[in-house]
Amino acid sequence: MKKSMKTYGCMLFILLMVAVTGHVTADPFATAFSDKPEHAILLIIDGLSYKVWDRLNLPVLTKMIQGGALVEKNYLTPAAHPHSGAYAELHSGSIPNPILLSGTVFITRETTYLQDSFYPSKTAAFIANTLAYNSLNRNYHYSYQQDGRDADAIRVALKFMEMGKPAFMHIHLQDTGGAGGRSLSAPENVPWRWNIWAEGSPYRAVAQRADSLVGEFVTGLEKLGVLDKTVIVVMGDHGQSDSGWHPLESMDASITTIVLWGAGVKKNVRIPYSEQIDVTPTICALMGVSPPKTSQGRVIAETLTHVSGSPSPRKMLMREMLDLFTEYRKKIAIARYEIEKLSPEKQGNIFTRFDRAADSFYDISRFTEWSRFHSLEELLEANKKAMEALNGMLGEIEKTK
């Protein structure tokens, strides 16, 4: 009799749930996904470090990794944010953001972006709890840009999905990046000053809250009946220095991580390396649309269910570029110091050669000039030649000592 009453009570509970919600609540992370997605979500957690998997407890994203794919390190250009000059005339956000959406490091007025691959035939939406990315807010049917909290952005994103069922949705959660900056500027008596991983740091708290919000978003998609036909790509727009923020000189600030989960994505896949320009062509391949005409990235084919075989290894061009930037900064500082110690009659010739080498190197400060090259390989070759000239000059200075 007790067993019968227990069974009856369980059935009554299920009927009550159906009456109230219209369906039985299930674990969204056990969803059986379609082979091909109808909705693609690019969800940016601002300043997401690639080190979070070892340093933080992120249960939602961890579940997504277990049922999807992880790119351990995604490389990008230094996260410069010019507020004046040629770049500022093009974009209001930091340099990696237009690169991410265009699939190229060569940004001009003619550059096309990921949303352009959907608009106008397929519905697209953009949500950001900041006004920082206003220059990228074009060709979206739905748009929300307002200073606020990450939770506001997630709430609006779910409302947009309910209203228009966008084929592509770009969500930018801004709070985590700002929390990292608080460690960099914290007063001396704060234990998490210059350490975003310290207990009690704002970065830890806000990144974990972002993870929870991703879970709310996934649950919301399940309730709307669209989760099984959705692919979600979670990543940072740039990385984060251990001391906070994204200084140009920090390699960690130029590395983020990517989680791919949902329709069209393989399970239990880990990839050690990709580049930021690869994300846009990958989303386009998943959704069956043409990538932006200016895109030069590589599809992260290892993560896609419809791709068989082993793709050719990815050339690590972006990492090589960052290594050259680091070497250039060091050698330029050494060269200036050594030239100043030379006698006046020797300085003239050496300074001329120094200026030529420096003028031939294209670092992030010359970003708007990169478009004179046709490929990242071509840009790298130019910078390598400039470094050879600089190293040769330093060798001659050494001989004169």
Check whether residue 22 and residue 49 sit in a common domain: no
Partners of 265 in the β-ladder: 304
Check whether residue 18 and residue 164 sit in a common domain: no
Check whether residue 110 and residue 14 sit in a common domain: no
Residue 16 pLDDT more than 50? no
Give the residue from 35, 142, 103, 160 showing the smallest Cα distance to 284. 103
How confident is residue 400, by pLDDT bands cut at 50, 70 and 90? confident
Could you read off the pLDDT of 371-389 as tens digits, one per residue? 999 999 999 999 999 999 9
Count of domains observed in the chain: 3
Structure tokens at 155: 């709430």
Is the model's pTM score more than 0.85? yes
Q: How many CB atoms lie within 10 A of CB 383?
A: 20
Check whether residue 138 and residue 221 sit in a common domain: yes
Question: Which of 279, 313, 347 is the endpoint of a domain?
Answer: 313
Question: Which of 282, 313, 344 is the endpoint of a domain?
Answer: 313
Check whether residue 270 and residue 297 sit in a common domain: yes
The mean pLDDT of 95-107, rounded to a whole number, is 98
Give the model's pLDDT for residue 401. 67
Check whether residue 210 and residue 292 sit in a common domain: yes
Give the residue from 234, 235, 231, 255 showing the smallest Cα distance to 304. 231
Give the residue from 382, 341, 380 showing the smallest Cα distance to 358. 382
Check whether residue 242 and residue 388 sit in a common domain: no
Question: Which of 259, 283, 313 is the endpoint of a domain?
Answer: 313
Give the model's pLDDT for residue 25. 52
**Amino acid present at 176:** T
Check whether residue 68 and residue 102 sit in a common domain: yes
Partners of 143 in the β-ladder: 126
Q: How many helices (H) and strands (E) does the chain have?
A: 12, 8
Could you read off the pLDDT of 321-353 as tens digits, one per residue? 999 999 999 999 999 898 888 888 788 788 888
Check whether residue 198 and residue 341 sit in a common domain: no
Check whether residue 23 and residue 68 sit in a common domain: no
Check whether residue 199 and residue 280 sit in a common domain: yes
Check whether residue 71 and residue 174 sit in a common domain: yes
Give the model's pLDDT for residue 10. 44
Domain span including residue 391: 318-399
Which CATH number do you get for residue 250? 3.40.720.10
